[in-house]
Amino acid sequence: MRQKMLNKFEELYGDGGDIRFYFAPGRVNLIGEHTDYNGGHVFPCALTLGTYAMVRKRDDRTLRFFSMNFEHREVVESSLDDLHFYKSAGWTNYPKGVLWAFNQKGHPIDAGLDILLFGNIPNGSGLSSSASVEVVVGVMLKDMFGFDVTMIDIALLGQYAENNFNGVNCGIMDQFSIAMGKANHAIFLDTSDLSYKYAPIALDDKKIVITSSNKRRGLGDSKYNERRNECETALKELQTVLNISSLGELTEESFESAKEVIKSPVCVRRARHAVYENQRTIKAVKALEENNIRLFGELMNESHRSLKEDYEVTGVELDTLVESAWNTEGVIGSRMTGAGFGGCTVSIVEESAVDHFIEKVGKEYREAIGYNADFYVVDIGEGAGVVSD
Please compute, for residue 134, the number of CA atoms within 13 A of its CA located in the half-sphere on the CB side.
Answer: 34
328 by DSSP, 3-state: which?
coil
The answer to whether the beta carbons of residues 99 and 109 sit under 8 Å apart is yes
| Position 217 confidence tier, pLDDT thresholds 50, 70, 90 | low
CA distances from 205 to 47, 294, 349 (A): 19, 13, 9
pLDDT in the model for residue 125: 65
Instruction: Kindly state the DSSP code that residue 387 receives in the 8-state scheme.
Output: P
CA distance 319 to 313: 10
The 10s digit of each residue's pLDDT in 155-169 is 999 999 999 999 988
The answer to whether the beta carbons of residues 333 and 324 sit under 8 Å apart is no
**CATH numbers and ranges of domains, the chain:** 2-200+381-386 (3.30.230.10)
Whether the per-residue pLDDT at 338 is higher than 90: the answer is: no
| Position 340 confidence tier, pLDDT thresholds 50, 70, 90 | confident
Q: Which residues pair with 46 in a beta bridge?
A: 27
Beta-strand runs (E) in 245-330 = none
Least confident of 13-22, 315-324, 335-344: 335-344
The 10s digit of each residue's pLDDT in 219-272 is 545 688 899 999 999 999 999 999 999 999 999 999 999 999 999 999 999 999
Q: Which residues pair with 380 in a beta bridge?
A: 47
Q: Which of 332, 336, 382 is nearest to 353 (CA)?
A: 332
The 10s digit of each residue's pLDDT in 263-300 is 999 999 999 999 999 999 999 999 999 999 999 999 99
Burial of 40 (0-12, 13-18, 19+ CB in 10 A): buried
Backbone φ and ψ for 50, nearest 5 degrees, come out as 175, -155
Q: For 356-360, what is the mean pLDDT?
A: 98
Instruction: Kindly state the DSSP code that residue 214 receives in the 8-state scheme.
Output: -
List the catalytic residues: 174
Averaged confidence pLDDT in the chain: 94
SS3 content of the chain, % helix, strand, coil (to 5): 45, 20, 35
Share of the chain above pLDDT 70, in %: 97
